[in-house]
Amino acid sequence: MKQPQVVNLSQDATLAFDGDGIIDDTTQLAITSIPTIQVDIIFVDLTDGASSDTVNNITMTYVIVPPGVYAGWWTVDIADIVAGATIIDRHKYVATVKRASGDTSNMRSFKVQEFAVDNDSFEDTLMRLPYQIEIGVTESYIKWYSDISFVTALYKAKVYQDAVGTTAATRADKITHRGPIIAA
């Protein structure tokens, strides 16, 4: 998806789900008669392709609106998600929400469509990531990695030497320009 829903973990208070989509697995009707459901949310990081994280036993709350206006919606506090999962800025995710063990609501599991996290802090994110400069024969890069094993590059940018920014850098100490930062 080119333009997924954007979530800002520092400014948004909740994730909201359409009330008509939270279904009782027995009656096949929307669950609107109980105020809360304990859920587990399994996040899959689409940016790095495989990693996932689970937030267990958090509260999903039903928000009632005036009759005839809308069916209502269910919300999960973002603070609960951040406390229980590692969500990386500038990454895309999908998720599955399922009833937590011990919850008696009999809620059917459902999927969360693709969304992206953008905390308006891309530079701060880069400052915290380990990086290395890789000098090649025809192209050289600075690459930012998910951890210090330097196995999974998250972002990269071409690096150049001299004053014009067109000649690939031949040594790390000769870098004068970098190209745009893109997903690795």
CB 171 within 8 A of CB 160: no
For residue 94, give both structure tokens: 């999908």
- What is the per-residue pLDDT across 48-72, written as a single tens digit (0 to 9) for each? 776 788 999 999 999 987 666 667 8
Count of domains forming the chain: 2
- Where in the sequence is the domain holding 81, given as residue range(s)? 5-117
Indicate whether 25 and 94 sit together in one domain: yes
Higher pLDDT, residue 68 or 8: 8
Question: For tokens 């050289």, what's the residue?
Answer: 140
- What is the per-residue pLDDT across 114-135, written as a single tens digit (0 to 9) for each? 888 887 666 777 888 899 999 9
**What pLDDT is attached to residue 22?**
92
Domain limit, last residue, from 64, 92, 117: 117
pTM: 0.64
Strands (E) located in 108-180 = 110-117, 131-134, 141-145, 153-161, 167-168, 175-178
**What pLDDT is attached to residue 52?**
84
Q: Strand, coil or helix: what is 168? A: strand
